[in-house]
Amino acid sequence: MRVLISEGKIRDRVRELGTQLSSEYSGRPLTILGVLTGSVVLLADLIRATSVPLRVALISASSYGGTRTSPGSLSVNSSLVPDLKGRDVVILDDIFDTGHTMVSLYEAVKGFEPNSVKSAVLLWKSDRTTVDLTPDYFGFSIPDEFVVGYGMDYNDEFRHLPYIGIPDNDDLIAAGG
């Protein structure tokens, strides 16, 4: 597997994002809404890098699954989302690809009547974005490659990797693909 973004670079950038969120949301009712399951590693690291009081919530949205490496139809499950009325919400996801997932999440979250909604992602494939929305905060702009690690998976494998990697065919075969 080729390492695209090292553990150290991720750690440094997540700290920068935490500082940025802390500055912008100081004195405001912040909820970070992590998108299951890919964002959990980022969510844990980001809230530790953030110095303002905040709430953490989770939402489920999936357009990939199993051995798929391209998006399919999106399903959103907001049953885990607490009351967001009047709160500032940052939707946190692992990757912004075409942007369709984030657009759907924005619409779902707006129904909870938050004060504001912004998006944060670790990775942004800007060349693949096909919607009129860009992430408000992002860690890294990456090329159009299938990536794993730091919470992102292929067939539920590779989430544990502390870096972002580009798997080769042997990696995918070993993971049941």
Q: Can you give the pLDDT at residue 62?
A: 67
What is the value of pTM for the model shown? 0.90
Contact (Cβ atoms closer than 8 angstroms) between residue 33 and residue 58: yes
Domain 6-145 fold is Rossmann fold (3.40.50)
Cβ–Cβ < 8 Å for 36, 58: yes
Catalytic residue numbers, as ranges: 97
Please report, for the chain, the start and end positions of each structural domain, with discontinuous segments joined by +.
Answer: 6-145
Lowest mean pLDDT among 42-46, 72-76, 82-86, 160-164: 72-76
Q: Place 95 in a pLDDT band, splitting at 50, 70 and 90.
A: very high
- Say what the pLDDT of residue 66 is: 47
Give the tens place of pLDDT for each residue, 2-47.
Answer: 999 999 999 999 999 999 999 999 999 999 999 988 999 999 999 9
CA distances from 162 to 36, 65, 149, 166 (A): 18, 21, 6, 13
Stretch 79-105: mean pLDDT: 91
Q: Are the C-beta atoms of residues 135 and 121 closer than 8 Å to each other?
A: yes
Quote the CA–CA distance of 63 and 71 in Å, as a whole number: 5
Average pLDDT value for residue range 58-85: 68
